[in-house]
Structure 1
């Protein structure tokens, strides 16, 4: 094993890893008290809403992939769809050609809270109060605010004061942005959680009844009341530099609940890799594996230019298909069986040449070729789009004014495991709902205001989200959960880490400490939906020779700041029952805990 920045956690009791050390410790505390992986995941997640409010919130989005011991892998869809009045006609009548990356028109039905409650109700063992107590305490009594959160608030303080006064009240109490590491409190959010617990307990002593009562209170009680009352009057400035009213209604919130569905999986060198269906971007990782299966990665130096070049070119091909074909399978026919077929991907692999491609090359799927044509036309139109800040960050060196995502991996003593990538509803996305202490989400920016696409805006349709946790099973008995924040980069960084694990024997932490890279070639998921053909980013630890080699092959290479690309975490259960866990050192926030 090579040098790593921190030890890989090993033990036999259980492990929790997340993007904030406080949340990881909270989850481990639940395991120590006898809770299972699902109890711990929910407690960790709700705590992350408090300590990383620039990255996620209760009204955001939540996909989780999980496995109970002896049962099939499942997905929790906590991704809310577009409201009933969210039509292309309405948005175009507002003078828009793209959905803004912030503000009320960017909002879909809030999904995160109900998704977590569904998982807790059906698979957890703890009461609602026990699971929410840590988050309530940190919101009420304070937590040491991360420098990145403080910097984000400081950068937006004037905007909040002028345009989003309800946010100013919460994030700049007393009119001043918080100092880094100062105790920061959000009493309105604490009271919201507490009222949900009280609503649950009013239903009696049964934990299932309590959780269902809290879900009902969210959908149709005081939370829905506060959201509806606010939206009845709000006309909010957003990133389009125009004020807009929202279309989300009380009826939208009342009519939606989180749900379960089967995972999508692919067999790769002894591993069965599970992802969400194509309402998330997760299948791009499977498509990249299907392409790379036809190439000899074992013979390549995992830190060398050949490896980087081949993987980047496979990523370009997979993401082109994402942009052309992915969308909500409940509303569109997605040709996923064809996209994952051996014959199709053998042909795709032949497109990887000695030099970098600068073309958008979605595959030609029989019966769906019009979607390929539509993507090429759209991406060509949007090359060189005006330089505007995307609304989700991917690297530490970028501006603090963008939202992002968190990630959680948990395995308990019995071997139950959860991977989740909550996001949305961050403090930059929308004004705080008065009295609730949190804002709405901005996930609708994933949609296109063009007819006839799987990702076209339509009432009741799920946005093609970038949120993409992973679970993998090896035929030798190993089981693995992993993921990362990072928008369009999530499946790129996961792919690189997984390939080095599978083909080069990297240990979990070793792979996270190794330098990462990603492509910016394809059209982005976040406003302003920019495409940068042939462009990629690498960490400088690859060295000048590798970087020069990549440039000689035609790649436009941007060198990132050191230790700034990727925020991976992972946890594994070996066949003999030993647990392992790891977390990236980047941003100095993520931690793995276990024993």
Structure 2
């Protein structure tokens, strides 16, 4: 049994057989569970909860952002599918255009950083194909919250405070939406969004006259893209506005970019690990980082992978460094030899690089792809130790970026989904009049360098950090799990997964256990910094463990006792129907529910 497996948990590990929900906000969990109690399935519940998340965690996700999910239906055997809600770069988003404005990088905030919004279309696609409820019932939870209000989180109020001057001086539409009487709202202030409520009511109305449920949802998808969002975006972003680099520029997104986007489902990337199938997004996202890491670790004995010991932490972190180097060099929305990166011979050679000392080098794989590009490395002076409890982090240049949200649901029939909505943070770009929300900034993850596989290209998806996880056994889904956290998402999930599969932890024990991550990567978010050899960890791991890691050459930053990760998960045993759910106590926001 791994260390910390017998420690007390911050809350009970929920168990039952009817249905389970877990998320990063209690209101979302409540909405998901309410749908299950009223006869909806896991997909009805997830969609209802996702639209609530847009409202109650506006600094972490929004309707103008993106999402990825992985789900499996109750059919046996079940084939997991990726729900792809990552929008692409607009047709006008060319490297030449950005360079003509004097840019070396895509800015971290402003309309030029916006990918086509994809989250809403993806959720509606899931509802159409796998849900059972009509649109009006699903959106009713969000409509009520938008009209009656919700108490703004302390973290959201802090996010508004950090950009209040930007709002008042440069983004007046955002000031109108987020400032109360011209002042930053105090935590707990009831916040409404009547413009967004009207948008949701228009979607419901567009579906009401359709001949059946599915046709109604399709009508709403078209109304969202062609009638509501596309024209408003094109009209608003023709006016220059302030960006993170201090310049004022017009956006490039056109109504046609929004209208032509369609969410899709696709097969996941997956591996077998200790008798389980681990399913992730493809390498257009960072999901395969977990797969590569687990392949590097699979030859070690179980006890050698304890994330509570210096030896286990060291092996996990060193494997992560190798996988993240491949992410930074190879992962992109184009043909990628993932099979080569996961091949036994490649993994065996890479595993030899894991020694007793912490690596300070950038060491991507050498595979026959013709890729010779290496990302520019801007070393950061210090590591942000506190990103992970829900607060967006603040770059030294003054731009504020958001984090992410997450939800997991399983129902009594065995349908299961893990989903990570993000983008469209209230601090991403100006609020669009008539919509009540802004666009996201995912294009900051592209490079203004034609030689990079992840270069900015019209019609291509930016490589996303969103990385939900689904675990299957004998073809049946058994664990849905995830976390916000940008570059740290898979880093926090690998220790949790090892604790669940190998270490004897219950879900709540695995979430509560102290965790860690490395800054030894090229940051996905502007200004794209790197911290070679850095290791951020929670103090609860203990002085002896930390001292041993420092003696191995890790550049340790202590984050505090409860600082890293916002993990949640649901589980189900297909043989007995027994379920469980757990959520993160850090930040006092996430909750699980079920029976």
Q: Secondary structure at the match of 2:592?
A: strand
- Displacement, 1:396? 5.2
Q: Aligned partners of 1:291 and 1:69: how far apart in 2?
A: 32
Contact 1:419 1:481 (C-alpha < 8 Å) held by counterparts: yes
Contact 1:19 1:590 (C-alpha < 8 Å) held by counterparts: yes
2:593 corresponding residue in structure 1: 593
Q: Secondary structure at the match of 1:422?
A: strand
Which segment drifts farther, 499-508 or 443-452? 499-508
Query: Counterparts of 1:426-441 in structure 2 under 5 Å?
Result: 426-441=425-440
CA gap of 1:444–1:155, structure 2 versus 1, over 3 A, is same
1:66 matched to 2:71: yes
Which segment drifts farther, 95-104 or 180-189? 180-189
2:3 corresponding residue in structure 1: none
Q: Secondary structure at the match of 1:175?
A: coil
- Displacement, 1:397? 7.0
Gap runs ≥5 in structure 2 = 1-5, 395-399
1:383 matched to 2:388: no
2:554 corresponding residue in structure 1: 555
1:78 matched to 2:85: yes
- CA RMSD, 1 decimal: 1.7
Q: Secondary structure at the match of 1:193?
A: helix
1:343 matched to 2:345: yes
- Displacement, 1:475? 3.5
Q: Aligned partners of 1:407 and 1:356: how far apart in 2?
A: 32
* Match 2:125 to one of 107, 118, 124: 118
1:104 corresponding residue in structure 2: 111
CA gap of 1:310–1:33, structure 2 versus 1, over 3 A, is same
* Match 1:206 to one of 208, 212, 217: 212
Q: Secondary structure at the match of 1:198?
A: helix
**What does the per-residue CA deviation read over 1:501-555, in whole Å, with 9 as the maximum and x for residues that have no partner?**
2221111110100000000011010000001100110000011111111111111
**What does the per-residue CA deviation read over 1:135-171, in whole Å, with 9 as the maximum and x for residues that have no partner?**
1111111111111111211222121000110000000
* Match 1:356 to one of 346, 351, 358: 358
Query: Counterparts of 1:490-501 in structure 2 under 5 Å?
Result: 490-501=489-500
Q: Aligned partners of 2:382 and 2:304: how far apart in 1?
A: 40
Q: Secondary structure at the match of 1:354?
A: coil
Contact 1:393 1:487 (C-alpha < 8 Å) held by counterparts: no
Q: Aligned partners of 1:478 and 1:83: how far apart in 2?
A: 36
1:172 matched to 2:172: no
Contact 1:484 1:490 (C-alpha < 8 Å) held by counterparts: yes
1:323 matched to 2:328: yes
Query: Counterparts of 1:240-279 in structure 2 under 5 Å?
Result: 240-279=245-284
CA gap of 1:515–1:389, structure 2 versus 1, over 3 A, is closer
Q: Aligned partners of 1:560 and 1:313: how far apart in 2?
A: 20
- Displacement, 1:556? 0.4
Contact 1:572 1:580 (C-alpha < 8 Å) held by counterparts: yes
**What does the per-residue CA deviation read over 1:260-317, in whole Å, with 9 as the maximum and x for residues that have no partner?**
1101110001110000111110000000001001223424543111011111100000
Q: Secondary structure at the match of 2:21?
A: strand
Q: Aligned partners of 2:477 and 2:127: how far apart in 1?
A: 25
CA gap of 1:101–1:397, structure 2 versus 1, over 3 A, is closer
CA gap of 1:136–1:396, structure 2 versus 1, over 3 A, is closer
What is the TM-score of this pair, normalised by structure 2? 0.95
* Match 1:217 to one of 223, 241, 250: 223
Gap runs ≥5 in structure 1 = none
**What does the per-residue CA deviation read over 1:301-343, in whole Å, with 9 as the maximum and x for residues that have no partner?**
4311101111110000000000111111xxx220100111111
